[in-house]
Amino acid sequence: MASGFDIVIVGAGIVGAACAAELAREGMRVAVVDRDIIGGGATAAGMGHIVVMDDSEAQFALTRYSRRLWRDLHSGLPPQAEYETPGTIWVAADESEMQEVRRKHEYYASRGVAAEILDSKMLAEAEPNLRPGLAGGLLVPDDAVVYPPVVARFLLERERGVSVIAGSAVRAITNDGVALEDGTRISAAKIVNAAGDASPNLTAGVRVAPRKGHLVITDRYPGFVRHQLVELGYLKSAHTHSAESVAFNVQPRRTGQILIGSSRQYGVTNADVDPAIVSAMLSRALQYMPGIGTLSAIRCWTGFRASTPDKLPLIGPAPGTDHVYLATGHEGLGITTSLATAKLLASQITGREPEIAVTPYLPARVMDGEKHA
Amino acid sequence: MSDSANTVVVIGGGPAGIAAAACVAENGASTVLIDDNPRLGGQIWRSGGKIPQAKEAGHWLNRFMRSGAKLQCGTRIVDRLGTKSLLAESDRGIQRVDYSQLILATGARERLLPFPGWTIPNVVAAGGLQALVKGGAPIAGKRVAIAGSGPLLLAVATYLRLQGAVIVLIAEQAPWSRLVRFSAKLKSSPHKLWQAILMGVHLRGVRFKSSCWPIAARGESVLEQVEFQSKQGRFSVACDYLACGFGLIPNLELPRLIGCEVHNGFVAVDEWQQTSIDDVYCAGEPTGIGGIDSALCAGQIAGFATVGRKEKARGLFPARTRGKKFEETLAFTFALRPELRQLCQPETVVCRCEDVTYERLQPMTSWREAKLQTRCGMGACQGRTCGAVAEFLWHWQLASARPPVFPARVESLAGKTLTLEK
Amino acid sequence: MPNLIQVTINGQAVTVPGGITVAAAVLLSGKSGIHRSPSGALRGPVCGMGVCFECRVTVNGRAHVRSCLTTCEAGMEISADE
């Protein structure tokens, strides 16, 4: 039995790592357990886009707060974290989407987030490889991109007081810690379930469903794309409960490679790359950037987002327990909101005042108060 | 593809694929052979250069041409579309390749191992230099050192010498005792023995050392000299090219993508060369590194099996058994010595595509961790070079295959045909 | 006598035998390096069969073409890293 820990965190992805670093900074002794390698789940599979989103006030508050925390952190990150600030351009295809651009601009500007409306000409200058005839877009210059697996490892190694046990699956959360598949136990007064799409396996009543996504990465084409480009229809795709959807979403990486997304599917649990989904996703990208067609794609892969019914993560105590906390359900915003999640979780554990209200993210809002076995 | 209901598709235009397709077509079935190279022959029967084709190659190529099998060169399979459907790409566009039965003859590539200076221009693979010369690269008068392991080294030396290269050294890492035993075994195969004698004639006077391997390549902007380790100690050789390859590794990417089971690093096949997937066969190096004879034999067995000529296939079983024994002999003779794991300096590049050095990889505990933390294997070759290195240096198991099998145009994966340019 | 064709390599006209690979044409033009690694190291072709990706050049405006697998055609515009 491993002991001497104040907290054990299940999941060494970006969320678990951020929580571990934050709690260790508060003076706690933290154990982090993962069934695989650090940052090997959705953390490795996603785009690493750090973005302010305005789906709801609660989402906006969380993403704005967290993006600021990334800005504060970035100069301390190693170069392999590839932190860049290309900004996001939300692309409007037509006049009705331009109305949405104006609404978003007003929303962001009135809340102190820099944003600039681009008309058709300005958009073409900003991104020459977009097809002509698009209506314009909203530039959010302070949005960033990062390479998350390196950051997860950095966060876990940075603080003394964090021990990582990788390659060991947790069988169950117990009254006084966790029991691993291999029979060993780690004892701690508090447990954090940061297991992403696997979190329902460990805590009853967690309504987190896996939402499969595909990505394609190209060879190096420096300068082909300058900003993260997202079609406004992305929001429809992210919000829909329909079985599958694709949306145009491309990202320039520091290497000059271009990451092309995005897709969402409910109810699919095998991780195989589906050529039909890839085809639909890339066809959508071709509609916005025809020139992307002749670029060399070197790999496709998939990952599973942890999605919740109301698109907001679960950050706080698991109802019906007094020692289990949840930090999961981040859907497509896990990288962005990982740092804020850590702060909000730590504030609840230490009793300190959080910087933003935690109420919208409390698990109790979508869970019954089920007692633990 | 028309009439896919009955088409046997063969992937790979080396000896195994050629033999398979010929057998299928000679028995009246519709077959098409798809290969990535501009011309048929794969690696070992690559055309080009001033030397005419080996008689055996010529015989099989003629047989293929006369058989009625269709050929598509310059075409690579990039993804699978469904149960019996593949996506192929060429410079002209894409096509859906449907098959009733599939024969995978994707061959092998050379194992490259890192040592200081291995990334200097003119340090090339052994078969790689031969391929480049067959493609028209000048070699007459150039000083070439050949190193690494396997019978390929002698074949390459023979070819290059006949093209006018000056072979300054052949360095085989295997010990002399194993090479002698290997030569003795060749007596049981007159064909192989004859090949060996021919090579001996062509290579008369060439300096040959066993238990010898390169430890450093040096040069300002191109290769100038190579330092070797041998039983007698270290020595350096001035040369224009180092042609260096440490054996062959099977091309498993497409078999894995299709879902074929792999045992001990090779595609698992039954007595008919059928894989774990129904109607998918595999022949040649992906099932075991055995050279031309094994490949021809297995290719024919697979071809006969797909057209139901089991008795003809069975007739080749004894030859295949001999081929399997030869595979074991090859593996034993040319097993890579442990010293080859000690060649890297901390700053020696291991992943060439992403410039990841030995010291950054050494602390990693798995291939996946190495990939995620250092980008090793995430470049254009997708681990084809560095993955084999990592397997050898640290015994890491490589992760499953993801599409595309080879880089493909975005529009190809989108299901669109080529955009005509310029 | 093989037919000769003209291609351009980094803007310079080069006459080569028809049917050779682009990699061979670059080597014939006197270059040994053909492609720069991410850290800027110059690399030459290695595997000769399209699996190492060190021989990549730009052909007629298309980047990342494996020159060892590509046959020269008259008028081809080839850009190799220098």
Note the pLDDT of residue B420: 43
Residue B184 touches partner A, C-beta closer than 8 Å: no
Band of residue B241 on the pLDDT scale cut at 50, 70, 90: very high
Tens of pLDDT, residue by residue over A161-182, are: 999 999 999 999 999 999 999 9
- Residue A276 φ then ψ, to 5°: -70, -40
Bridging pattern class, strands A30-34 and A2-10: parallel
**Residues A195 and A202 sit within 8 Å (Cβ to Cβ):** yes
Task: Tell me which residues of chain A have a C-beta less than 8 Å from any C-beta of chain C.
Answer: 219-221, 255, 294, 296
- From the CA of C21, how many Å to the nearest CA of chain B? 5
Question: CA-CA distance, A349 to B59, in Å (whole number)?
Answer: 78
Band of residue B194 on the pLDDT scale cut at 50, 70, 90: confident
- Residue spans of alpha helices (H) in B187-272: 190-202, 253-258
Band of residue A3 on the pLDDT scale cut at 50, 70, 90: confident
From chain A, the residues in CB contact with C35 under 8 A are none
Query: Averaged over B408-419, what is the pLDDT?
Result: 86
Flag if B421 and C61 touch (Cβ within 8 Å). yes
Residue C36 touches partner B, C-beta closer than 8 Å: no
pLDDT at B65 over 70: yes
- From the CA of C40, how many Å to the nearest CA of chain B? 9
Band of residue B421 on the pLDDT scale cut at 50, 70, 90: very low
From chain B, the residues in CB contact with C28 under 8 A are 136-138
Q: How crowded is the C-beta side of A36, counted as CA atoms within 13 Å? A: 15
pLDDT at A370 over 50: no
Domain ranges across chain B: 4-109+249-331, 112-246, 338-422
Tens of pLDDT, residue by residue over A9-67, are: 999 999 999 999 999 999 999 999 999 999 999 999 999 999 999 999 999 999 999 99
Q: For chain B, what is the mean pLDDT?
A: 93
Tens of pLDDT, residue by residue over B259-281, are: 999 999 999 999 999 999 999 99
Helix/strand/coil for B60: helix
Query: Averaged over A67-73, what is the pLDDT?
Result: 98
Query: How many residue pairs from chains A and B have C-beta atoms closer than 8 A?
Result: 96
Query: How many residue pairs from chains A and C have C-beta atoms closer than 8 A?
Result: 9
Note the pLDDT of residue B399: 72
Question: CA-CA distance, B283 to B264, in Å (whole number)?
Answer: 16
User: Beta partners for B267?
Assistant: B262
Note the pLDDT of residue A372: 43
pLDDT at C32 over 50: yes
Contacts of B3 (CB under 8 A, 6+ apart): B30
With CA atoms as reference, the chain A residue closest to C53 would be: A219
Percent of chain B predicted with pLDDT > 70:
96
Percent of chain B predicted with pLDDT > 90:
85
Query: CB A167: neighbour CB atoms within 10 A?
Result: 15
Domain ranges across chain A: 2-46+148-208+310-365, 85-142+209-307
With CA atoms as reference, the chain B residue closest to C21 would be: B135
From chain B, the residues in CB contact with C33 under 8 A are 121, 221-222
Q: Which residue has the higher pLDDT, B139 or B417?
A: B139
**Residues A127 and A227 sit within 8 Å (Cβ to Cβ):** yes
The parent domain of residue C41 ranges over: 4-79
Neighbours of chain C (3+ CB pairs under 8 A): A, B
Query: Averaged over B331-352, what is the pLDDT?
Result: 98
Percent of chain A predicted with pLDDT > 70:
96
Note the pLDDT of residue A234: 73
Neighbours of chain A (3+ CB pairs under 8 A): B, C
Question: CA-CA distance, B287 to B277, in Å (whole number)?
Answer: 14
State both tokens at B192: 């192989």
- Optimal mutation site among B46, B111, B115, B132, interface C, most CBs of chain C within 10 A: B132
- The ipTM is 0.97
Note the pLDDT of residue B262: 96
Note the pLDDT of residue A240: 67
- Optimal mutation site among C52, C55, C66, C77, interface B, most CBs of chain B within 10 A: C52
CATH code of the domain made up of B112-246: 3.50.50.60
Flag if C20 and B135 touch (Cβ within 8 Å). yes
**Residues B90 and B49 sit within 8 Å (Cβ to Cβ):** no
B319-323: Cβ within 8 A, 24+ apart: B319/B293, B320/B294, B322/B189, B323/B290, B323/B293, B323/B294, B323/B297, B323/B298
Instruction: State which CATH number among 3.40.50.2000, 3.10.100.10, 3.50.50.60, 3.30.470.20 fits the domain covering A2-46+148-208+310-365.
Output: 3.50.50.60
Flag if B382 and A299 touch (Cβ within 8 Å). yes
Query: Averaged over A189-205, what is the pLDDT?
Result: 96
Note the pLDDT of residue B422: 31
From chain C, the residues in CB contact with A219 under 8 A are 63-64
- From the CA of C7, how many Å to the nearest CA of chain A? 22
From chain B, the residues in CB contact with C38 under 8 A are 353-355
Q: For chain A, what is the mean pLDDT?
A: 95
Split into its structural domains, chain C has a count of: 1
Note the pLDDT of residue A244: 86
Flag if B128 and C20 touch (Cβ within 8 Å). no
Note the pLDDT of residue B47: 82
Kindly state the DSSP code that residue B5 receives in the 8-state scheme.
G
With CA atoms as reference, the chain B residue closest to C33 would be: B121
Note the pLDDT of residue B2: 47
Report which residue type is found at A197: D
3-state secondary structure string across chain A: CEEEEEEEEECCCHHHHHHHHHHHHCCCCEEEEECCCCCCCHHHHCCCEECCCCCCHHHHHHHHHHHHHHHHHHHHCCHHHCCECCCEEEEECCHHHHHHHHHHHHHHHHCCCCCEEEEHHHHHHHCCCCCCCCCEEEEECCCEECCHHHHHHHHHHHCCCEEEEECCCEEEEECCEEEECCCCEEEEEEEEECCHHHHHHCCCCCCCEEEEEEEEEEEECCCCCCCEEEECHHHHHHHCCCCEEEEEEEEECCCCEEEEEEEEEECCCCCCCCHHHHHHHHHHHHHHCHHHHHCEEEEEEEEEEEECCCCCCEEEECCCCCCEEEEECCHHHHHHHHHHHHHHHHHHHHCCCCCCCCHHHCHHHCCCCCCCC
Query: Averaged over B200-210, what is the pLDDT?
Result: 89
Residue C62 touches partner A, C-beta closer than 8 Å: yes
From chain A, the residues in CB contact with B401 under 8 A are none
Could you give the strand order of the β-sheet that contains A244-252, starting from the edge strand earlier in sequence? A116-119, A136-140, A88-92, A228-231, A244-252, A257-266, A209-220, A296-307, B408-409
User: Shortest CA distance to A276 belongs to which of A239, A243, A307, A232?
Assistant: A243
Note the pLDDT of residue A243: 75
Flag if B381 and C69 touch (Cβ within 8 Å). no
pLDDT at B110 over 90: yes
From chain B, the residues in CB contact with C58 under 8 A are none
Note the pLDDT of residue B257: 95
Q: Which of residues 123-162 of B touch C (CB under 8 A)?
A: 123-125, 127-132, 135-138
Query: Averaged over B139-162, what is the pLDDT?
Result: 96
Note the pLDDT of residue B1: 43
User: What spatial distance separates the first Cα and last Cα of chain C, rounded to whole Å?
Assistant: 32
Question: CA-CA distance, B355 to A339, in Å (whole number)?
Answer: 31
Residue C40 touches partner A, C-beta closer than 8 Å: no
Residue in this structure with the two tokens 């070797």, named with its chain if needed = B228
Flag if B409 and A294 touch (Cβ within 8 Å). yes
**Residues A138 and A105 sit within 8 Å (Cβ to Cβ):** yes
Query: Averaged over C16-28, what is the pLDDT?
Result: 96
Band of residue A373 on the pLDDT scale cut at 50, 70, 90: very low
Tens of pLDDT, residue by residue over B300-312, are: 999 999 999 999 9
pLDDT at B50 over 60: no
State both tokens at A318: 């698991």
Residue B164 touches partner C, C-beta closer than 8 Å: no
CATH number, domain containing residue C62: 3.10.20.30
Kindly state the DSSP code that residue C71 receives in the 8-state scheme.
B
Query: Averaged over A3-11, what is the pLDDT?
Result: 95
Flag if A295 and B409 touch (Cβ within 8 Å). yes
Note the pLDDT of residue B49: 60
From chain C, the residues in CB contact with B221 under 8 A are 32-33, 42
Residue B224 touches partner A, C-beta closer than 8 Å: no
Query: Averaged over A320-331, what is the pLDDT?
Result: 95
CATH code of the domain made up of A85-142+209-307: 3.30.9.10
Percent of chain A predicted with pLDDT > 90:
92
Which among C38, C62, C63 is the nearest to A255, CB-wise? C38
Flag if B372 and A80 touch (Cβ within 8 Å). no
**Residues A309 and A207 sit within 8 Å (Cβ to Cβ):** yes
Query: Averaged over B356-366, what is the pLDDT?
Result: 97
Query: Averaged over A128-141, what is the pLDDT?
Result: 98
Bridging pattern class, strands B31-34 and B70-72: parallel
User: Shortest CA distance to A219 belongs to which of A299, A283, A301?
Assistant: A299
Q: Which of A63-77, B332-346, B391-405 has the lowest mean pLDDT?
A: B391-405
Band of residue A183 on the pLDDT scale cut at 50, 70, 90: very high
CATH code of the domain made up of B4-109+249-331: 3.50.50.60
Provide the CA A179 distance to its chain's centre, in angstroms. Answer: 27
